[in-house]
């Protein structure tokens, strides 16, 4: 089941993201909790998608994602976060969530989807995940996140239906 997150789930979704081991508590609050709070406050401006993928039987969140249209380039969408509970990795949950986001972005007339990640060891799986789903690495910015930790930029062009 793919749906919008409920305000009562914010803590569950932040904890799920923290279990990926990618964030300190303050980073999780600054990057993820603030997005969910803004969504529920109605202050997340511009076209955006925040989606939860939940188990069909119990409706418990297995992962979630946040994408938004670029404020400077119409039709370009950034996937700012996609994460699946480590207990559910490797079962196709991330693929289903990304496919669903792509369908919604296409319906919103997206031309290009951009995903940025880091070349850190913790993101090796993510860097393999995107190319096998049609994303192409377009470049790296050395020392972006920290000395010795580059930003890796992927994108995928979406066929525009005429």
Which residues make up the interface to ligand COA (CB under 6 A)?
20, 22, 82-84, 89-95, 117, 123, 125-126, 129, 132
Helix (H, G, I), strand (E, B) or coil at 140: strand
Closer to ligand COA by Cβ: residue 32 or 126: 126
Nearest approach in angstroms of CB 132 to ligand COA is 4
Q: How far is the CB of 6 from ligand COA (least distance, A)?
A: 21
3-state secondary structure of 149: strand
Q: In whole angstroms, how close is the CB of 53 to ligand COA at the nearest point?
A: 9
Distance (Å, rounded) from C-alpha 129 to C-alpha 135?
9
CA distance linking residue 90 with residue 75, whole number of Å: 31
Q: Which is nearer to ligand COA, 19 or 160 (CB)?
A: 19
- The counts of H helices and E strands in the chain are 5, 7
């Amino acid at each position: 089941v793919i749906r919008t997150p409920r305000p009562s789930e914010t803590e569950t979704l932040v904890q799920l993201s923290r279990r990926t081991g990618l964030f300190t508590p303050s980073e999780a609050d600054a990057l993820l909790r603030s997005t969910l709070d803004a969504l529920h406050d109605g202050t997340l401006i511009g076209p955006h998608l925040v989606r939860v993928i939940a188990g069909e039987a119990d409706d418990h969140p297995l992962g979630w994602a946040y994408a938004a249209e670029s404020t400077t380039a119409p039709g370009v969408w950034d996937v700012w976060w996609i994460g699946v509970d480590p207990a559910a990795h490797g079962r196709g949950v991330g693929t289903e969530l990304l496919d669903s986001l792509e369908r919604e972005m296409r319906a919103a007339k997206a031309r290009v989807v951009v995903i940025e990640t880091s070349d850190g060891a913790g993101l090796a799986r993510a860097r393999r995940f995107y190319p096998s789903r049609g994303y192409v690495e377009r470049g790296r910015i050395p020392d972006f996140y920290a000395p010795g930790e580059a930003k890796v930029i992927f994108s995928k062009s979406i066929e525009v239906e005429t």
